[in-house]
């Protein structure tokens, strides 16, 4: 059983109103049959995917329209009831579940595609659309979503935007800050902000949507998204390689970028410990044997013969110069398996017991040194210390596993990891956000003036602080 977050982290509840029978009656009139109240029924919404934090909400609301979200927030604002917006609940920093008894506002039923323009590739849809469903819809039209994550089968596009999720396609298509063209957002007081434009270029005033991208539901509830989707590549190739050192992984990346150019769509690495866990817990096997490091390269292009030729030339060069000790270009079924290996590391780690997760951006030369230093620091007190991630965009996933949660182990890891990251001007959260677990460490990545300015934005857009309280920003002094 997961210990309630407020107990484990000793957080104080802010002076929000408590839920009363009259409140529930109001919501039941507003959306009959879409109000969840039973303890067992509410339970899955209270616990995060990692089973590491747990809230005590007694109410889940499932609106279907922006108008309903507006009415819910207007009511909660007047009554001073705190609200926790929730998408697919696949976040990794405790941002998507309540800390106390906040009302959960689930976007699960806001799953309609509003429009898709086959000429421009612009998709407009409600926030609760599941990423994988959107991708399937687009593939039928010859397009794909510009982002891809391990959680694609359950995460919602609204949650992806609210957390500015990164994932496996970022190297090729950039971040959501570039591909999201417009948003519809309901503010704390219930007013709807319609910035749902479908224009690639729009230089009129401040770019308000950027405030909400990555704001983790603390400034407004995203209800609809307009997003630019790339054409589905005709040819996708995957190569899986073994490297003897992390320096070789980086040298291979330089060569790879130079030789594959515009068709390079992913460059991922994992260490041998990751591979060992994936093989042990998920019974998947590596296409390349016994290497200290593994690299997954994906190319996406419009001409398979041309792409394969480029990839094979690169591989020959990498093998001949000793950068790579072993490698394979995957055929169709193996291709899926190789990508699967990388995507399912998170899942394999959960079989190890409790996982301490860190998602760090660092200069490439320093990327793996953090793993080595943490391994040396923790010694036998941790079960495993592993590193994997997106070399293409300087993003390391550092994971530490133990039989169960231990406060003394946490003290050995934090703030050491954050101090180390700050020393090399890295970011303490590359793509997962700050949520609940990392908000008090924001100063390792942002100067004090920036944090104060963020607190001003929060106070202006949500003066009563009812939206996703206890998350993203440190408590104002």
91 and 137 assigned to the same domain: no
Beta bridge mates, 384: 401
- Put the strands of the sheet holding 103-106 in their side by side order: 35-36, 60-61, 103-106, 83-86
216 and 274 assigned to the same domain: no
Tell me if 203 is assigned to some domain.
yes
Whole-prediction pTM value?
Answer: 0.94
Domain count, the chain: 3
Q: Last residue of some domain: 330, 347, 364?
A: 347
User: How far is residue 57's CA from residue 66's CA, in Å, rounded to a whole number?
Assistant: 22
* Domain boundaries, position 293: 235-347
101 and 178 assigned to the same domain: no
From 254, 343, 328, select the one nearest 291 (Cα to Cα).
Answer: 328
CATH, residue 330: 3.30.70.2190
pLDDT of residue 216: 98
45 and 90 assigned to the same domain: yes
Tell me if 245 is assigned to some domain.
yes
196 and 286 assigned to the same domain: no
Tell me if 264 is assigned to some domain.
yes
258 and 309 assigned to the same domain: yes
64 and 118 assigned to the same domain: no
Q: Are 145 and 134 in contact (CB under 8 A)?
A: yes
9 and 97 assigned to the same domain: yes
> What is the mean pLDDT for each group of 10 consecutive residues in the chain (477 residues)?
88 96 98 96 95 95 98 98 98 96 98 98 98 98 94 96 92 94 98 95 94 98 98 92 97 96 94 94 87 94 92 95 90 65 86 93 97 97 96 95 93 97 97 95 97 96 98 83
Tell me if 399 is assigned to some domain.
no
pLDDT of residue 328: 85
From 236, 237, 265, 224, select the one nearest 134 (Cα to Cα).
Answer: 224
Tell me if 140 is assigned to some domain.
yes
- Bridge-based pairing of strands 354-361 and 384-390 is unpaired
165 and 200 assigned to the same domain: yes
11 and 89 assigned to the same domain: yes
Q: Last residue of some domain: 228, 246, 277?
A: 228
State the sign of the Cα–Cα–Cα–Cα dihedral 139, 140, 143, 145: negative
Q: Last residue of some domain: 83, 106, 129?
A: 106
pLDDT of residue 1: 77
Tell me if 192 is assigned to some domain.
yes
100 and 125 assigned to the same domain: no
Tell me if 419 is assigned to some domain.
no
pLDDT of residue 23: 98
Tell me if 369 is assigned to some domain.
no
220 and 117 assigned to the same domain: yes
CATH, residue 91: 3.30.43.10
């Amino acid at each position: 059983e997961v210990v309630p977050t407020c107990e484990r982290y000793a957080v104080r509840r802010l002076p929000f109103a408590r839920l009363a029978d009259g409140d529930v009656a109001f919501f039941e009139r507003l959306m009959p049959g879409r109000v969840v109240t039973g303890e067992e029924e509410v339970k899955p919404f209270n616990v995060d995917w990692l089973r590491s934090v747990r809230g005590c909400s007694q109410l889940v609301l499932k609106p279907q329209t922006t108008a309903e979200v507006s009415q819910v927030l207007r009511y909660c604002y007047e009554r001073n009831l705190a609200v926790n917006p929730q998408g697919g609940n696949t976040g990794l920093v405790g941002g998507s579940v309540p800390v106390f008894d906040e009302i959960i506002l689930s976007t699960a039923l806001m799953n309609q595609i509003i429009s898709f323009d086959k000429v421009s590739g612009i998709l407009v849809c409600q926030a609760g659309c599941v990423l994988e469903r959107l991708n399937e819809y687009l593939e039928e039209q010859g397009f794909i979503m510009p982002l891809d994550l391990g959680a694609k089968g359950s995460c919602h596009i609204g949650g992806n935007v609210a957390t500015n999720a990164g994932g496996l396609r970022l190297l090729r298509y950039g971040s959501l800050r570039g591909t999201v063209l417009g948003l519809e957002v309901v503010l704390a007081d219930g007013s709807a902000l319609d910035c749902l434009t479908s224009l690639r270029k729009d230089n009129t005033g401040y770019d308000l949507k950027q405030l909400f991208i990555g704001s983790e539901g603390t400034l407004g509830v995203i209800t609809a998204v307009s997003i630019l989707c790339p054409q589905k590549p005709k040819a996708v190739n995957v190569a899986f390689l073994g490297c003897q050192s992390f320096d070789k992984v980086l040298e291979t990346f330089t060569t790879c970028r130079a030789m594959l150019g515009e068709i390079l769509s992913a460059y991922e690495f994992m260490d041998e410990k990751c591979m060992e866990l994936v093989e042990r817990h998920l019974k998947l096997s590596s296409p390349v044997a016994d290497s200290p490091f593994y690299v997954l390269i994906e190319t996406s292009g419009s001409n398979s013969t041309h792409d394969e030729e480029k990839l094979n030339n690169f591989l020959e060069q990498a093998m001949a110069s000793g950068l790579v000790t072993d490698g394979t270009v995957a055929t169709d079924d193996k291709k899926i398996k190789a990508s699967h290996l990388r995507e399912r590391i998170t899942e394999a780690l959960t079989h190890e017991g409790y996982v301490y997760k860190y998602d760090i951006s660092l200069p490439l030369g320093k990327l793996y040194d953090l793993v080595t230093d943490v391994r040396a620091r923790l010694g036998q007190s941790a079960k495993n210390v592993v590193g994997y991630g997106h070399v293409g965009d300087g993003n390391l996933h550092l994971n530490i596993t133990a039989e169960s949660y231990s406060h003394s182990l946490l003290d050995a890891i934090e703030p050491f990891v954050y101090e180390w990251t700050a020393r090399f001007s890295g970011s303490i959260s590359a793509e997962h956000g700050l949520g609940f677990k990392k908000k008090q460490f924001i100063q390792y990545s942002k100067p004090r003036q920036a944090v104060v300015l963020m607190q001003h934005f929060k106070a202006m857009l949500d003066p009563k602080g009812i939206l996703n309280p206890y998350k993203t920003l440190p408590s104002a002094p």
